[in-house]
Amino acid sequence: MVKLGRNDSCWCGSGRKYKACHMAMDEKIHRYELEGHIVPPGNILKTEKQIQGIRESSVINMAVLDAVGEMIGPGVSTQQIDDVVTEVTARMGGIAAPLNYEGFPKSVCTSINEVVCHGIPSKDVILKDGDIINVDVSTLYKGYYSDSSRMYCIGQVSGEKRKLVEVTKECMELGLSMVKPWNFLGDMAQAVNDHARKNGYSVVVDIGGHGIGLEFHEEPFVSYVTSAGTEMLMVPGMVFTIEPMVNMGTSEIYVDDNDGWTVYTADGKPSAQWEITVAVTKDGYEVLTW
C-alpha cells in the first residue's frame, strides 16, 4: 500500500481524509506487526464498495443453494445438481466459479459420505437413502466472488451421520463467534478444533478456508487446527471463508489418482463441512454468504 499523508484521500475510496478515516487503524496494525504478529497485507482489505459487490454475488450463491435444497433427495444424480447450479447461476446473471478453475470440469462440488471435498458431479453418482452430501457453490458476479456450502441429509440418515453434520455446523458457528477485529485467525481455529475433538472427531489439516472477493482464492489460508493467539490478525475489511472439514475418524486424507480432484478420508469414514463467507467489521462480523 502506498504511504499516505494525513490529509490525502483515504485508500478505501470513502473520499474522506486519511487522518479521519483509516489512519488510526493502519497505525494499530503496524504496532501488531512490530510485535511480531502476522498482519494482513493492505491489498486484501476490502472497501465498502467491494464488500457490497460480494454481497450482490452472494445473493446468487445462496439462491443456487436454496434451489438445490428444493430438488435434492434419493434418486437424484449429482449431475442433476450440477445442472440446477448451472441454470440458476446463469439465469441470475452469474458465472459458476468452479467450472474450468484449474481444470475442474463442473460447476459445483458434490461430496458424499467419505468424500471430504471437491467431488465431481456425474450422471452415474445417484444419491441414496442414508447419504450425507456437501454441495459447495461458488459464484462470480460483476467481478466479485462469493462462496458457501451446505450439508444435506438424504432420506433417513443414521444418528451417527446426523450428529457429525450437526456438530460440524456447530464448529463453524463457534468459529464465527471468534471473528472480531484484533482477534487472530488462530482464535477461531482453536474454537473449531476444540469442539470437534470434544465430540470425538478430527479436523482436516491440509485443506482450509481462504480469503475471497476479488479473486476466487486469496490470502490468507485459513486453518482450523492452529492455536489461539496465532495466525493472521483479523482487522476490518478482511473477507474470508469459514469452512472446517470434520471427519468422523482420522484427519488423514488422500486425493483420487484418477481425477486429481476428489478428496477422501483415509479410513473411509464420513466427513462433513459447512461453509460461509464472512467480513470482519469495526465491531464484529457480517456473514455475507451462507
- How would DSSP label each residue in 208-259? -EEE-SSSSSEEEEE-SSS-TT-SBBP-TT-EEEE--EEESS-S-EEE-TTT
Kindly report the number of other CB atoms within 10 A of residue 287's CB atom: 14
Predicted TM-score (pTM) of the model is 0.95
CATH code for the structural domain at 43-289: 3.90.230.10
Kindly report the number of other CB atoms within 10 A of residue 9's CB atom: 14
CA pair distance 9, 21, nearest whole angstrom: 9
| Cα-based angle 84, 90, 94 (whole degrees, multiple of 5) | 120
Q: pLDDT 10s per residue in the chain (290 long)?
A: 568 899 999 999 889 999 899 999 999 999 999 999 999 999 999 999 999 999 999 999 999 999 999 999 999 999 999 999 999 999 999 999 999 999 999 999 999 999 999 999 999 999 999 999 999 999 999 999 999 999 999 999 999 999 999 999 999 999 999 999 999 999 999 999 999 999 999 999 999 999 999 999 999 999 999 999 999 999 999 999 999 999 999 999 999 999 999 999 999 999 999 999 999 999 999 999 99
- Cell digits of residue 274: 459447512
Q: Are the CB atoms for 221 and 178 separated by under 8 Å?
A: no
What are the residues whose beta carbons fall under 8 Å from the beta carbon of 13, sequence distance 6 or more? Answer: 47, 48, 49
Q: Are the CB atoms for 114 and 265 separated by under 8 Å?
A: yes
pLDDT at 227: 98
Whole-angstrom distance between the N-terminal and C-terminal Cα of the chain? 31
pLDDT at 46: 97
| Cα-based angle 287, 243, 148 (whole degrees, multiple of 5) | 55
Report how many helices (DSSP H) and strands (DSSP E) the chain contains, helices first. Answer: 5, 15
pLDDT at 173: 98
CA pair distance 218, 202, nearest whole angstrom: 26
pLDDT at 1: 52
